[in-house]
A and B are shown apart, each in its own frame.
Chain A
Amino acid sequence: MMGSDHMHRRWSNLRKVLERSGPFCRPDFEPSTETLQFLLDNCKILVIGAGGLGCELLKDLGLMGFRQIHIIDMDTIELSNLNRQFLFRHKDIGSSKAEVAAKFINSRIPGCNVISHCCKIQDKAEDFYRQFHIVICGLDSIIARRWINGMLLSLLVYEDGELDRSSVIPMIDGGTEGFKGNVRVILPGLTACIECTLDLYPPQVTYPLCTIANTPRLPEHCIEYVKVIQWPKENPFECAIDGDDPQHINWIYEKSIERAAQFGIQGLTYRLVQGVVKNIIPAVASTNAVIAAACATEAFKLASSCSASLNNYMVLNDIDGIYTYTYEAEKKEDCVACSQVPKEIEINSPKFKLNDLIEFLCEKPDLQMKNPGLTAYINGKNKTLYMQTVASIEERTRENLTKTLVELGLRNGSEINVADITTPSAIVLKLKFVYCNSDM
């Protein structure tokens, strides 16, 4: 019988650190056999993303005593995943990542109960997210990170302005790119959140339209030209570009080669075309393993409270030796997502139009919105100023874009509700008119 003796010895490594006290433990840590039981039976973890980090995370969590795990990912398995997403085999190509990963872990680690959700994170509501003790992100999308950050913030309960600690669901976030990676621990409402440090994400590389159209110099300029100008014009397959369709990539490759030859530009390769069109981030098994493991360690420390958590950001780079750096990212007083104070937006001209405001919201490094929808309470009525995402409303509100804020009835101190795909619930911005009346 493989019974309790085996189970007892199987977890003996974990039991040593959970059932013994040590000089570096958290002061509130009580060594006991109950902690392991809590991890095994009760502690619910949500892993977001079943890619390079997600596969590693499931394995790491399963072997650190966590068994009540949910995984959410809408993607299916591709050939180019197999160099690092080790729970997938060739035969799995085309299947749901979340499903295959969950099945693999449950069969390899007896007693592990991974539940898969093959959907977008936006498809799940507050009640779903509220059930977890810890959420771990292994994502490559900044928008998804921001959304889940907003979701966990929306679950916070404040009583008389005081945060109810039991409503805090810690978020552990891992990210990798090539031989670089980072890990952070976020206690929503208590420590710096994703939006507090939004300017850490470098803006996406874009090329000015006039360069790609008139003065291309790099192979990238030729590819962008074909992508942005030639494709819509010639519409070769009568649909939008699908980076996963080899026919599409071939077409772009051939046209880009032509353009590069025309301008005498060297160095255009098929690999580069794929990289630019699909915005490919280089990835390797080892970095994913390192970052996921660090996330799992943090989950283990948080769930067992055996040691203090990472405070609160670590970066890794192993190009030249191995370099790590740990620091405390600071919570922003007026963070749009996690502070209780509405963020003030300074308006410095009476000519400031709604269009200008939307552009401002998209371009400001600490806001970086994608397609914000704006409503405001004006003259006792809730009014939609502009909304791009619903065609009928867009049509109806389009004329507002060229109106000034004043013409729309907004005043100094007016509050605007902004909805965006980067956040699950609307955020509030407060207008502050800083021009003097003589400007008018």
Chain B
Amino acid sequence: MASPAPKSPEQSERNRKYDRQLRLWGDHGQAALEGAHVCIINATALGTEILKSLVLPGIGAFTIVDGKKVTSEDIGANFFLETDSVGKSRAQVATQMLLELNSDVRGDYIDEEPDQILYNSPDFFNNFTVVVATCLAEKSLVLLSQRLWELNIPLIVCRTIGFIAYMRIQVKEHMVIETHPDNEIPDLRLDKPFETLKKHVDSVNLDALSFKDHSHVPYLIVLYKFLEKWILSKGELPNSYKEKSQLKQMIREGMRRDENDISNSEENFEEAVKAVNTCVGHTEIPENVTNILNDDQCINLTAKSSSFWIIAKAVKDFVENEGGGLLPLKGTLPDMTADTEKYITLQQIYHKQAIADAEAVWRRTLQLLRQLGKSSDSIPERDVKLFCRHALNIHVGRGTCIADEYDCKVFDASNIVQCLENPESMMIYYVILRGVEKFQTEYNSYPGEFDDQVEPDIVKLKACITKLLSEWGCGPLVKDDYVHEFCRFGGAELHSVSGFLGGLAAQEVIKFVTNQYKPVHNTFIYDAVTSNSGTFFF
């Protein structure tokens, strides 16, 4: 009954458990996740929600830093505490309860205030992959931010108050090979065909094909032929809308008609017509990739350069030599109506060229490694292949240090001033949250935290904000409504708002850990009342 060879691979328990996410970030992404160690400062509801979405997919290890004892208020908002844990170490209880979620994950805790650790053991943070802080006071935040900036360890600062959520990402430099863009443009090179592609298409004579074969030629070849004809007569690619329409018309006219069936049309030609808009254009290196290849880090390699920059330099050398000004070929083909043989032949041509390009980049990588005095196995060949396959979409992000936002000598507030001119701008929440931080530093409580202090706190919070704004060279706020709203919140942490931000923050951690997908650049604000969000750069 069951057939002999080939046999199905044995599915490991781990593969089955993580199946739904392996389809997103792959086995290599999972391996990176399992090798990561994150630190979470403060096991607030927000802190444990972030951890939950990291422990479930199987992060390697976590450490919670929190010197607080569990209160009744904590239990009301935090799922990873229990009624009988009141008075116990919050870090300890949360660690235990989070570890129940996944036996693959290691977790430990430090029952100490983050400030103490920052002062007493500054090296504590050196070996984390990412550090996440929730509910951290201004002064400690500045210290932590400076420390991690020097170490180039990503820091994610999160906070929710009432219906408002805030996340700030600090990373000095972050490189992504697999950005997973939603709409990928195929890398077809119709305008600059490589030798084997040219030879193959030249060997096809559309006019000599039988009726059946004619309608089973991949559209790519159809497009190539008509483009060739176009260039022969006009000298260059169709550029304008009008020219592209003319090319489309030419292709339509090239369609063969079935005398017996006037409604017949050739699907491959229809596809070729549709592809004119997306596939006809100059093959060139996108601007952001050019910038990366011309970056100082790429040009001036040192023994300390990361493998990303070494491969980037190898790609640059490739582009300037055998690549003839173009990136290594991606090598994948979209699906198109065709018979199997014609499609697979074409697919193989692209695939083989991509392999050849990647091999050239690999040779150049080895050469660079030799020059840098590094061993040839310090970069695996598969990393070079991955880089080449995604070279069109690589990304380098450079951030700013959070501490600078607290230093009015270096902080550029013009962005804030400009945004506040728009009454709809969510920048207002940044300003108020900064005011709340200042309030906390001065009064050691949240504005509105105590029922009998709401009214006086409105005045005090307003004063904090006015002071901040004047430090930034702005006038006071026109309206008090947001100040009122935050005093109403009284620092309340609403579980569903923290659950929302917690999931997003965990996702940002995963982006850093797997080196896939582009992180937020660099401040995210969400208003749960309107469900609107905004991203700002400081």
Residues of A within 8 A of B (CB): 2, 5-6, 9-14, 16-17, 20-24, 56, 59-60, 63-64, 79-80, 82-84, 86, 89-90, 108-110, 178-179, 183, 211, 214-218, 236-237, 246-247, 249-251, 253-255, 257-258, 263-266, 270-271, 274-275, 280-290, 292-294, 296-297, 300-301, 307-308, 310, 314, 317-322, 324, 326
Residues of B within 8 A of A254 (CB): 2-3, 5-8
Residue from A60, A108, A110, A283 in contact with B495 in the complex, judged by beta carbons closer than 8 Å: A60
Q: Is the CB of A83 within 8 A of B488?
A: no
Q: Is the CB of B19 within 8 A of A280?
A: yes
Q: Is the CB of B495 within 8 A of A9?
A: no
In the docked arrangement, what's the CA distance between A317 and B162, Å?
Answer: 24
A289 nearest CB across to chain B (Å): 3
Interface string of B489-526 (1 = CB under 8 A from A): 11011111111101110110010000001111100101
23 contacts between A and B (CB under 8 A): A9-B76, A14-B76, A20-B454, A63-B45, A63-B495, A79-B17, A80-B20, A82-B102, A83-B19, A109-B79, A247-B2, A249-B8, A250-B8, A265-B344, A266-B347, A288-B503, A289-B506, A293-B496, A293-B503, A297-B163, A319-B180, A322-B524, A324-B531
In the complex, the chain B residue whose C-beta lies closest to that of A59 is B79
A22 nearest CB across to chain B (Å): 4
Indicate whether B408 reaches chain A with its CB closer than 8 angstroms: no
Residues of B within 8 A of A257 (CB): 6
Q: Is the CB of A322 within 8 A of B535?
A: yes
B204 nearest CB across to chain A (Å): 17
B451 nearest CB across to chain A (Å): 8
Q: Is the CB of A16 within 8 A of B489?
A: yes
Q: Which residue, of B101, B454, B488, has the highest number of chain A Cβ atoms within 10 A?
A: B488
B60 nearest CB across to chain A (Å): 15
Known contacts A16-B492, A289-B502, A301-B529; 13 additional CB pairs below 8 A are A2-B83, A2-B86, A10-B75, A90-B103, A211-B337, A215-B339, A218-B335, A253-B8, A266-B347, A284-B21, A289-B49, A320-B517, A322-B504
Q: Is the CB of B17 within 8 A of A82?
A: yes
Q: Is the CB of A217 within 8 A of B481?
A: no
Q: Is the CB of B17 within 8 A of A83?
A: yes
Closest 10 CB pairs of A and B: A289-B503, A293-B499, A290-B503, A63-B495, A23-B481, A293-B500, A10-B76, A9-B72, A250-B8, A296-B496
Residue from A17, A22, A314 in contact with B494 in the complex, judged by beta carbons closer than 8 Å: A17
Interface string of B444-486 (1 = CB under 8 A from A): 0000100000100000000000000000000000000110110
Indicate whether B340 reaches chain A with its CB closer than 8 angstroms: yes
Q: Is the CB of B507 within 8 A of A318?
A: yes
Q: Is the CB of B533 within 8 A of A60?
A: no
A243 nearest CB across to chain B (Å): 12
Q: Is the CB of A293 within 8 A of B216?
A: no
Tell me which of B51-59, B233-241, B284-292, B414-422 binds A. Answer: B51-59
Given A246-B11, A271-B22, do A217 and B340 touch, yes or no (CB 8 Å)?
A: yes
**How many B residues, CB 8 Å from partner?**
97
In the complex, the chain A residue whose C-beta lies closest to that of B527 is A24
In the docked arrangement, what's the CA distance between A92 and B123, Å?
Answer: 42
In the docked arrangement, what's the CA distance between A23 and B480, Å?
Answer: 9
Given A63-B495, A271-B23, A286-B504, do A22 and B49 touch, yes or no (CB 8 Å)?
A: no
Given A251-B3, A285-B53, do A60 and B499 touch, yes or no (CB 8 Å)?
A: yes
In the docked arrangement, what's the CA distance between A246 and B10, Å?
Answer: 10
In the docked arrangement, what's the CA distance between A60 and B503, Å?
Answer: 13
Interface string of B141-172 (1 = CB under 8 A from A): 00000000000000000000011000000000
In the complex, the chain A residue whose C-beta lies closest to that of B339 is A215
Residue from B6, B497, B499, B519 in contact with A56 in the complex, judged by beta carbons closer than 8 Å: B499
Residues of A within 8 A of B49 (CB): 289
A52 nearest CB across to chain B (Å): 9
Indicate whether B18 reaches chain A with its CB closer than 8 angstroms: yes
Indicate whether B16 reaches chain A with its CB closer than 8 angstroms: yes
In the complex, the chain A residue whose C-beta lies closest to that of B71 is A9
Q: Which of B114-148 contact A (CB under 8 A)?
A: none
In the docked arrangement, what's the CA distance between A14 and B24, Å?
Answer: 36
In the docked arrangement, what's the CA distance between A90 and B103, Å?
Answer: 10
Q: Which of B19-60 contact A (CB under 8 A)?
A: 19-24, 45, 49, 52-53, 56-58
In the docked arrangement, what's the CA distance between A286 and B181, Å?
Answer: 19
Given A14-B492, A289-B52, A289-B503, do A284 and B79 touch, yes or no (CB 8 Å)?
A: no
In the complex, the chain A residue whose C-beta lies closest to that of B82 is A108
Indicate whether B530 reaches chain A with its CB closer than 8 angstroms: yes
In the complex, the chain B residue whose C-beta lies closest to that of A247 is B2
Q: Which of B81-97 contact A (CB under 8 A)?
A: 82-83, 86
Residues of B within 8 A of A211 (CB): 337
Given A83-B17, A286-B510, A321-B518, do A294 and B500 touch, yes or no (CB 8 Å)?
A: yes
In the docked arrangement, what's the CA distance between A11 and B76, Å?
Answer: 6
Indicate whether B259 reaches chain A with its CB closer than 8 angstroms: no
Q: Is the CB of B216 within 8 A of A215?
A: yes
Given A20-B488, A294-B500, A319-B518, do A83 and B20 touch, yes or no (CB 8 Å)?
A: yes
Residues of B within 8 A of A281 (CB): 20
Indicate whether B372 reaches chain A with its CB closer than 8 angstroms: no
Q: Is the CB of B535 within 8 A of A321?
A: yes
Given A13-B493, A63-B495, do A271 and B19 touch, yes or no (CB 8 Å)?
A: yes
B142 nearest CB across to chain A (Å): 25
A228 nearest CB across to chain B (Å): 17
In the docked arrangement, what's the CA distance between A384 and B448, Å?
Answer: 67
Residues of B within 8 A of A183 (CB): 531
Q: Is the CB of A270 within 8 A of B506?
A: no
Residues of A within 8 A of B100 (CB): 89
Q: Is the CB of B17 within 8 A of A251?
A: no
Residues of B within 8 A of A255 (CB): 3
Residue from B2, B22, B52, B488 in contact with A236 in the complex, judged by beta carbons closer than 8 Å: B2
Given A287-B507, A326-B532, do A297 and B335 touch, yes or no (CB 8 Å)?
A: no
In the docked arrangement, what's the CA distance between A373 and B216, Å?
Answer: 40
In the docked arrangement, what's the CA distance between A283 and B21, Å?
Answer: 6
Interface string of B325-353 (1 = CB under 8 A from A): 00000000001111110011001100100
